Amino acid sequence: MALNPAHAGIKTCIDIHSLYRIQWVGFQGAPKSGFLTLSAPIKTKRKNYLSARQGIGLKFETDQIGHFNTNRINVAYAAHFNFTRDTRLSLGLYGGIIQMGFDPSNSVTIEPDPTVIKEASFIAPDASFGAWWNGENYYFGLVLQNLFRYKWTDLGTDSRYRFHSILNAGYRFKMNDRITLMPAAILKIPPRGPLAIDLQAILDFGNKFNFGLGYRNTDALLFFAGFKINQRFSMQYSFDFTLSALQNGSSNTHELSISFSACKPQNNNTSRCPLFE
């Protein structure tokens, strides 16, 4: 849900997810980011078995990159439409505010530049749209970010938020009753700059332990490992081995996430995956 608002209330219970990421450790001004999300279904009477469901959510996200510090808080709403027992379309919207600050205290320019030597801070509207389609063993996602192209007040001469789009997809192969292989891909399309493609494959054992490998075309090799306790508490660790020239000044990237789901444990199927619930 931190990426796609269409996940708000997609489960039939309260879901909480937190993450903290330290990128390019040792590199001056390296990014540090994290988020906390809360998702819950809206309890309403359904006229029939496959009638639409609704959900709400809340996300707080923070990023610190060099001289920039950004905080976002968004409220999410999503509607989930079942076409059959196993196929579903979810549409969601994030709406909230974004606060950005710029601290030029350590900035150095060859010539004096009035656009980067003064401190700046502003608050702007923020919105994203998300769509999600899944079957029993596959999913497709679409996210449109920064729907408001708000100009960065008192920072630069033509700096503003740019429209971004993200596509992702994945498939679940049930190798046997306990082992599941889940390859996935994420395509990030920035308004300027190269496409970023993440390819990954995660091997899950009895919905209790998992590990995986991945590749990001612009930066790194990825390694994943995680475990679940009673299918409610889960912890996941990710390590990025930097491949680009940034490795000369950094010690790679670490990411830790912890989540909790109030859904009752499902003991009758050990190859389940939360993406398809």
| Full domain range(s) for residue 176 | 5-276
Question: Considering the entire predicted model, what is its pTM?
Answer: 0.86
Q: What is residue 268's predicted lDDT score, i.e. its pLDDT? A: 52
Instruction: For residue 73, give Cα distances in angstroms to 35, 123, 140, 171.
Output: 10, 11, 25, 31
Domain count, the chain: 1
Q: What is the CATH number of the domain that holds 239?
A: 2.40.160.40
What string of pLDDT tens digits covers the 277 residues of the chain?
A: 999 999 999 988 999 999 999 998 888 888 999 999 999 999 877 666 677 899 999 999 999 998 899 999 999 999 999 888 889 999 999 999 999 988 877 777 777 777 666 788 889 999 999 999 999 999 999 999 999 988 887 777 778 888 999 999 999 999 998 999 999 999 999 888 889 999 999 999 998 999 999 999 988 999 999 999 988 899 999 999 988 888 877 778 999 999 999 887 765 555 555 444 4
